[in-house]
Amino acid sequence: MFQVYGCPRTRSTRVVWALEEAGVEYEYQKVDLFAGEGRQPAYLALNPGGKVPALADDDLVLTESAAICTYIGDAFPTSGLTPSFGSPERARYNQWCFFAMCELEQPLWTIAKHRFALPEKRRVPDAIETAVWEFAIATKVLATGLGGREFLVAERFTAADILVAHTLAWAQSFELPLGHTVLEAYAERLLARPALARAKAQEQNAV
């Protein structure tokens, strides 16, 4: 059975959301980042980066939320979370996953780091304005790519939607405008999925 290492209100929600969508059994191991558990030797032995999420499947330990969500989709093809290998839809799926991690998420992370996440002496408040501008560029690309469609890829829900919608939720929690009605509607639709509500409850209730 998969072991998921996570902490509420972090990127591990993406992984638990994917597992809930796929209807797969898993064990959730809470790594309380705020209590320093990510830096404990036992966790560092599993994930030298000390971050969540991580997923263990027998001897395979994976990190990186996009890689883990893709692994889950590939391991359970009937979930529909990943298009089949070699298909044009798979290429498009990869495109949006990389976009989520490199283009959409990075300006948000820059904002978070310089607002609160970095130690105070490392923060450069002037970087925030540029990151807000970069985020607006990324949302324009996303809105254009999505157009009037319901999902990003193949006219159906995939793990690319998980990565992107979770990132948009993060933007909303930072009170950044998504700036496009199609994205607002997309975020509202995706973030209302019952599997996400189950994922959040699972993480909140873990001890």
- Is-contact 10 28, C-beta < 8 A? no
Residues 104 to 163 in contact with ligand GSH, rule: CB under 6 A: none
- Is-contact 178 139, C-beta < 8 A? yes
Indicate the residue whose CB is closest to ligand GSH. 51
Judged by CB under 6 A, the residue of 53, 73, 83, 107 near ligand GSH is: 53
Kindly tell me which of 20 and 203 has the beta carbon lying closer to ligand GSH: 203
47 forms part of the interface with ligand GSH (CB under 6 A): no
- Is-contact 9 196, C-beta < 8 A? no
Q: Is 32 exposed, middle or buried (0-12, 13-18, 19+ CB in 10 A)?
A: middle
**Considering just the CA atoms, what is the radius of gyration of the chain in Å?**
17
* Piece in contact with ligand GSH (CB under 6 A), picked from 50-58, 69-77, 172-180, 188-196: 50-58
Residues 63 to 92 in contact with ligand GSH, rule: CB under 6 A: 64-65
Residues that bind ligand GSH (CB under 6 A): 10-11, 33, 38, 50-53, 64-65
